[in-house]
Structure 1
Amino acid sequence: MTKQKKAKPISTGVVGLDTILRGGLPPSNLYMLQGAPGAGKTTAALQFLLAGVEAGERCIYVSLSQTANELALIAASHGWSMDGIRIEELSASDAVNGSSDQTIFQTSELRLDETRQAIEKAIDEYKPSRLVYDSLLEIRLITGDSPRFRRELIGFKAFLAKRNVVALLLDTQDGDGRNGEEVEGIAHGVIRFDKSLEDYGAVRRRVEVSKMRGVPVADGYHDMAIREGQGVVVFPRIVADAAVEAKPTELIKSGVDTLDSMFGGGQEAGTITLVIGQSGTGKSTMASLYSCAALERGESVALFLFEERLETFFRRSEGLGMNLRPYHESGQLIIRDFNPNEISPGEFAQIVQTIVTNDDSRVVVIDSFTGYLNSLPHREKAVRDIQSLLKYLARAGVLTMLIVAQHGLLGQNVGLDVDVSFLGDTVLLLRLTEHDGRLRRNITVVKKRHGPHDLEVHELLIAGSGIKVVPYNPLPEP
């Protein structure tokens, strides 16, 4: 038997969604895009047609729920042109052809027939390769019952199949997301947009490809957003196996010999270090120290700030003799300053992955990991999501440093209600103690999975002249 050649998929026009679909949609089929009002269905539909226009295809937007002017306004808000897209503006509630000989109130059968005929006529005249049908809700209301609605959809599917049209049908879901259950079996694929509003912060959006025949899609939820000028953007979940396995490299050093000796000579590439401590113990200083040493070796560093402002970071580092501004200006030091409430775990993971891949970063710092997790509504899920990112970074041979704060100014408990200790290959503990009328900073390596390490408590000295780690001398016994 001759093996049938697999048809080339067509792009959805949505960044990230094609990745989930392993290249795009199989051609000449009917697909459903479901979601609540405001989930982004219309924007994604326009992107689908614009991708067709860019590919030189004929595209038509059949609108039963929005006017051509409304669609033009949506496109204009992103700076898009509707040139090349035919808008077929219909009404499923009134007589499409203007006839009212029967009565001033048309029967549902007549309205349905006239709507269908007008759509089929427009398709036969324009001969599109891509079609958006917006929306199935109006047709469902006319038919009134599921069997009649299914028959109508099956007939429309057969009509499109004869003309090799790939169609995207928009369907508005209710609060339970159940409106499309009676017709999902008819569609070749079903994509769901999910929108939720937490107690505080921006709207959270997700996408799920709940069905796609013949395509091994990346199932489950993926974060998404609507960006001005970009439209709908999808952030596929990070797959650790996607990273190219890095070759073993030399130990990563801090530039402070006594600190490196505590780690048995330095830290291994491809490991995760948790830097845990109270406020003022020098957690961010450790991050700056390792970043500066890597930059001086000519390596690229990526720093992600969730609490400290960029200018504050630079001034604090400069006060310790580490001038990082020139590295940032040259692009060797990449810094992203986030508003935690405006970014999803999926988007953050994709930003980190892109930077590490494009710039070959060898050291990545998240400062603070506590602030990042505390900004998310479901922290236990966020830890699971970021674990995939950390595995990706480890496979890529990156030293990842997570700054973890403790409760309160002098508190002893980690400021999280979820366990993150398992994330770290290495744990560096910083503490404050009182000695002879002053506070002393203590530094200890409490865990290191790879190789030997020093279990002794040392003192961390932070001054304008630099950073030192010296043996800890406790008070003599009375």
Structure 2
Amino acid sequence: MKKSKQPQPVATGVQGLDEILRGGLPPKNFYMLQGAPGSGKTTAALQFLRAGVEQGERCIYVSLSQTEAELTSIAVSHGWSMEGIRVEELSASDDVNGAADQTIFQTAELRLDETRLAIERAIDEYKPSRLVYDSLLEIRLLTGDTPRFRRELIGFKAFLAKRDVVALLLDTQTSEGVNAEEVEGIAHGVIRFDKTLEEYGPVRRRMEVSKMRGVAIADGFHDMAIRNGDGVVIFPRIVPDQATQQHKPELIKSGLSTLDDLFGGGQESGTTTLVIGQAGTGKSTMASLYATAALKRGEHVALFLFEERLETFFRRSEGLGLNMREFYDAGRLTICDFNPNDVSPGEFAQIVQQIVTSQDSRVVVIDSFTGYLNSVPHRDKAVRDIQSLLKYLARSGVLTMLIVAQHGLLGQNVGIDVDVSFLGDTVLLLRISEHDGRLRRNITVVKKRHGPHDLDVHELLIDSSGVKVVPYNPLPEA
């Protein structure tokens, strides 16, 4: 007996959403898109219909809450055209046929019937493959009670099923929490958009697929944004098991033999190194050494800056004899310079993943991890997100270096209020000591999970001639 062929999923047109849905929406079904006003529902709905138009499908937008001019304005703001999308503009709050006020029936009852018939006539006339219904709030207000509202949805679902229409129904979530009872048991799938305004910074957006029958979705919350030209963009959480690159374990050299000796000959690929120290101890310099050595070996390197400007980074490196600008101009070095609050944890993880995958990067530097955490709310969540990213990078054979700052010039407290020590396979500690009016930089490998390492304290010398690691000799007592 032959197995029935699985129908192709329906592309949503929303970047990132199809990945979460494992390809798209199951065809010929009825879906709910919920969210507060301004969360991106209408924009995503237009993307859904535009994806259908691109595939030569008939698409209709049934609007009970927005005018065609308003929808066109939203499309134009993204540089989109409404061509190929029929807009059926109805009103559920006013009398459809002009006779509601003269009937012995309840006005709301007649309005509901007339609205339903008008929608069904438009669908039968246009015969769409995709439909957006905006929004259920007006129908809920007309029905007045939950049982009637449920019957309306069930009847509409049956009507659409007979015509093989993929329908996306928009709904504004209510604080009473009745949506689960009214909708989720009827719809084939439920997608929720969420937005929150923090005490400082821009609106934070996220989404979840709370229900999708027959699909092993990537559940939980995923960060999202609304971008001019792109519309709604979703950033699926990183899944470490998705790393497909296979690299043999190898030692990653810094180009400085005395530094490599501290790590037992070098650092292992597929590991994470925390470089911890106060200001001025040479944390970024350590990362630059490994990056330059990898670039000279012909490898690709990716740097993600959260504190230092791009030009400042180049000038500091050039002051140490490390000319990284030429590799940047040649495309072998990718540098992303982020402003505070510009990027969510989910978007950052996706940017890193895309660069590492497309460029086959061998060394990744995040400078600084402290700056990254200070730019996002909910640091504990950000740490969990970065942990998944680090596992992905490790399975891709990447050496990742996280720069972590400490408080104060001589302080010992890490400048973040969450524990990150478990993230590092290796911990390189940089300190400044003072003796007889002289500051000295010290360097120590305090942790290395893979193989032996030097436990001695060494002195780190940084000047215009370059970088040196030498045995630490205490200065004689006066």
- For the residue of structure 2 that corresponds to 1:241, the secondary structure is helix
TM-aligned CA deviation for residue 255 of structure 1: 0.7
Q: Deviations over 1:378-415 (max 9, x none)?
A: 11111111100000000000000000000123211001
TM-aligned CA deviation for residue 416 of structure 1: 1.1
Paired position in structure 1 for 2:287: 287
Letter in 1 for 2:290: Y
TM-aligned CA deviation for residue 246 of structure 1: 2.6
Paired position in structure 2 for 1:191: 191
Q: Deviations over 1:331-354 (max 9, x none)?
A: 100000011312111100000000
Instruction: Verify the 8 A CA contact 1:53 1:85 in the aligned structure 2.
Output: yes
How far apart, CA to CA, are the structure 2 residues paired with 1:414 and 1:193? 36
TM-aligned CA deviation for residue 3 of structure 1: 3.0
How far apart, CA to CA, are the structure 1 residues paired with 2:161 and 2:66? 26
- The residue correspondences of 1:25-424 to structure 2 (distance < 5 A) are 25-100=25-100, 102=102, 107-175=107-175, 178-179=178-179, 181-424=181-424
The alpha-carbon distance between structure 1 residues 177 and 194, as it changes in their structure 2 partners (threshold 3 A), is farther
Instruction: Verify the 8 A CA contact 1:34 1:173 in the aligned structure 2.
Output: yes
How far apart, CA to CA, are the structure 1 residues paired with 2:112 and 2:475? 90
The alpha-carbon distance between structure 1 residues 205 and 180, as it changes in their structure 2 partners (threshold 3 A), is same
Letter in 2 for 1:147: P
- For the residue of structure 2 that corresponds to 1:444, the secondary structure is strand
Please say if 1:463 is aligned against 2:468: no
The alpha-carbon distance between structure 1 residues 435 and 246, as it changes in their structure 2 partners (threshold 3 A), is farther
TM-aligned CA deviation for residue 326 of structure 1: 1.1
Instruction: Verify the 8 A CA contact 2:101 2:107 in the aligned structure 1.
Output: no
Q: Deviations over 1:26-83 (max 9, x none)?
A: 1110000000001000000000000000010000000000000000000001000000
Between 406-415 and 395-404, report the one with greater CA deviation. Answer: 406-415
Between 340-349 and 395-404, report the one with greater CA deviation. Answer: 340-349
TM-aligned CA deviation for residue 289 of structure 1: 1.0
Aligned length: 478
The alpha-carbon distance between structure 1 residues 438 and 222, as it changes in their structure 2 partners (threshold 3 A), is same
Letter in 1 for 2:76: A
How far apart, CA to CA, are the structure 2 residues paired with 1:180 and 1:398? 44
Letter in 1 for 2:416: L
Letter in 2 for 1:138: E
TM-aligned CA deviation for residue 264 of structure 1: 0.6
TM-aligned CA deviation for residue 372 of structure 1: 0.5
Q: Deviations over 1:404-462 (max 9, x none)?
A: 00012321100111110010000000000113321000000000011111011111010
- For the residue of structure 2 that corresponds to 1:442, the secondary structure is strand
TM-aligned CA deviation for residue 4 of structure 1: 2.7
Between 42-51 and 194-203, report the one with greater CA deviation. Answer: 194-203
TM-aligned CA deviation for residue 374 of structure 1: 1.6
Instruction: Verify the 8 A CA contact 1:95 1:106 in the aligned structure 2.
Output: no
How far apart, CA to CA, are the structure 2 residues paired with 1:311 and 1:395? 32
- For the residue of structure 2 that corresponds to 1:341, the secondary structure is coil
- For the residue of structure 2 that corresponds to 1:125, the secondary structure is helix
How far apart, CA to CA, are the structure 2 residues paired with 1:126 and 1:98? 24
Q: Deviations over 1:78-103 (max 9, x none)?
A: 00000000000000011223345616
The alpha-carbon distance between structure 1 residues 407 and 196, as it changes in their structure 2 partners (threshold 3 A), is same
TM-aligned CA deviation for residue 370 of structure 1: 0.5
- Structure 1 unaligned spans of 5+: none
TM-aligned CA deviation for residue 250 of structure 1: 2.9
How far apart, CA to CA, are the structure 1 residues paired with 2:408 and 2:278? 7
Instruction: Verify the 8 A CA contact 2:435 2:475 in the aligned structure 1.
Output: yes
Instruction: Verify the 8 A CA contact 2:100 2:107 in the aligned structure 1.
Output: no
TM-aligned CA deviation for residue 322 of structure 1: 0.8
Instruction: Verify the 8 A CA contact 2:12 2:48 in the aligned structure 1.
Output: yes
Between 62-71 and 409-418, report the one with greater CA deviation. Answer: 409-418
TM-aligned CA deviation for residue 245 of structure 1: 5.0
TM-score by length of 1: 0.98
How far apart, CA to CA, are the structure 2 residues paired with 1:183 and 1:16? 25
How far apart, CA to CA, are the structure 2 residues paired with 1:47 and 1:178? 28
Instruction: Verify the 8 A CA contact 2:33 2:170 in the aligned structure 1.
Output: yes
The alpha-carbon distance between structure 1 residues 101 and 145, as it changes in their structure 2 partners (threshold 3 A), is closer
Identity of matched residues, %:
81
- For the residue of structure 2 that corresponds to 1:342, the secondary structure is coil
- For the residue of structure 2 that corresponds to 1:350, the secondary structure is helix
How far apart, CA to CA, are the structure 2 residues paired with 1:101 and 1:172? 29
TM-aligned CA deviation for residue 476 of structure 1: 3.5
TM-aligned CA deviation for residue 477 of structure 1: 5.7
How far apart, CA to CA, are the structure 1 residues paired with 2:26 and 2:367? 43
Letter in 2 for 1:148: R
Aligned CA-pair RMSD? 1.5
